[in-house]
Amino acid sequence: MPHPNGGNLSMVLPRSKLARREALEGYIFLLPWVLGFLAFHFGPLLASLYLGFTNYRGSTAPQWIGLENFQRMFADDPLFWQSLKVTVLYAVGFLPLGLVIGFGIALLMNQKVPGITLFRTIYYLPSVMTGVAVAILWQFVFHREYGVLNHLIGFFGAEPIAWLNNSTWVLVAFVIMGLWGVGGGMIVYLAGLQAIPTELYEAAGIDGANSWQRFWAITIPMMTPTIFFNLVTGLIATFQIFTTAYIMTQGGPNYGTYFFSLNIYYTTFRSLRLGYASALAWMLFILIMTLTLLVFSTARRWVYYAGEKAETA
C-alpha cells in the first residue's frame, strides 16, 4: 500500500477490506489539512515556542536564554504592561457593549414588520467592511476640526473632542468603531432567535405569561449558547486588534492604542528582537487561552443546552 503508515496502522484499522480502503481514502483526503497543519501550524508553533526562550535577532543563530524574555516582560518592560493595559481596556469597553447592543438589535430585527430584510442588510453591512479602507474612512470621521462626529455631537452642545490625539478618548473612538461592526454578532443572534421553537412561546402564552416573562424565561435561556459563541469568538478577535490601530494611530498617541498585536509587530519588524517577540506572541496566546477556558468553565452555570437537559430530565 502506498500509505507511509500502512504497516503500523493495519493493527488498528478495521479488518474488512472495504473498511480499510475507506480509512486509507480518509487519510488521503485529509492530507491537505494534515500537511498544512504540520507546515503552517504545528511546526511554526513549536519553532516560536523555542524562539521565545532565545535572544534571536535574525542575524546570528538563536541563543538559549531560558526564562529571561518572560522575566524581562514582567519586571522590566513598561511597553508590555502598557500594551496589556490598553488591550484589556479596549476589550472591557467593547465586548459587553457589543454583546448587549448586538442582542438588542437582533431582537429588533426579529420583528416581522414589512421591509425588515432590507434593514437586516443595512445593519449587517458595516461588519463585513473591514481593513485599511475603513480605517482611513474612520480617521476622517474622527477628525477634530473637519470630522463628522464632532459636528454631530456639537448639536448636543458638546465641545469638539480630539478623538485620535488624546490617549483616553482614542480608546473610546476604537470602541465606537468596533460597535459600528456590531451587525456581525447581530446576524448570529438573529439566527439563534429564529431557531427557538415557537411552541415554547405558545405554551407560555397559554399559561398566561406576559411578553416580559416570556423574554426572561424562554428567550434568554434559549439564547445562552449563542451569547456564549459570540462571547468566545469576540474575545479571541478583540485581543488581536491590529489593522485599524496600525493605520490610524500607529499605536499612539502616547502609546494609547499600543495594542498587544502592535507591540508584537513592532518588536519583530522594527526592533528585530525576534526572540522576545516570540515570547510576547506566546504570552498573547496564553492570555487568550486562559480567558477562553475561564469563559468555558463558567459555561456550565449559565449556558443552557436544550438537548442536554432533556436527557437528564
Q: Which long-range contacts (CB under 8 A, 24 or more apart) does 240-248 make?
A: 240/284, 240/288, 241/87, 241/90, 241/174, 243/130, 243/131, 243/132, 243/135, 244/134, 244/135, 244/138, 244/174, 244/177, 245/174, 247/132, 247/135, 247/136, 247/139, 248/135, 248/136, 248/138, 248/139, 248/164
Nearer to other proteins, 10 or 168 (CB): 10
Q: Is 192 helix (H, G, I), strand (E, B) or coil?
A: helix
Q: How far apart are CA 84 and CA 176, in angstroms?
A: 20
**Taking the complex as a whole, how short is the minimal distance between the CB of residue 105 and other proteins, in angstroms?**
7
**Taking the complex as a whole, how short is the minimal distance between the CB of residue 134 and other proteins, in angstroms?**
7
**Taking the complex as a whole, how short is the minimal distance between the CB of residue 304 and other proteins, in angstroms?**
14
**Taking the complex as a whole, how short is the minimal distance between the CB of residue 115 and other proteins, in angstroms?**
8
**Taking the complex as a whole, how short is the minimal distance between the CB of residue 313 and other proteins, in angstroms?**
23
Q: How far apart are CA 100 and CA 111, in angstroms?
A: 18
CB–CB of 231/295 below 8 Å? Answer: yes
Q: How far apart are CA 133 and CA 142, in angstroms?
A: 14
**Taking the complex as a whole, how short is the minimal distance between the CB of residue 152 and other proteins, in angstroms?**
8
Nearer to other proteins, 45 or 100 (CB): 45
Q: How far apart are CA 98 and CA 75, in angstroms?
A: 34
Specify the amino acid at residue 108. Answer: L
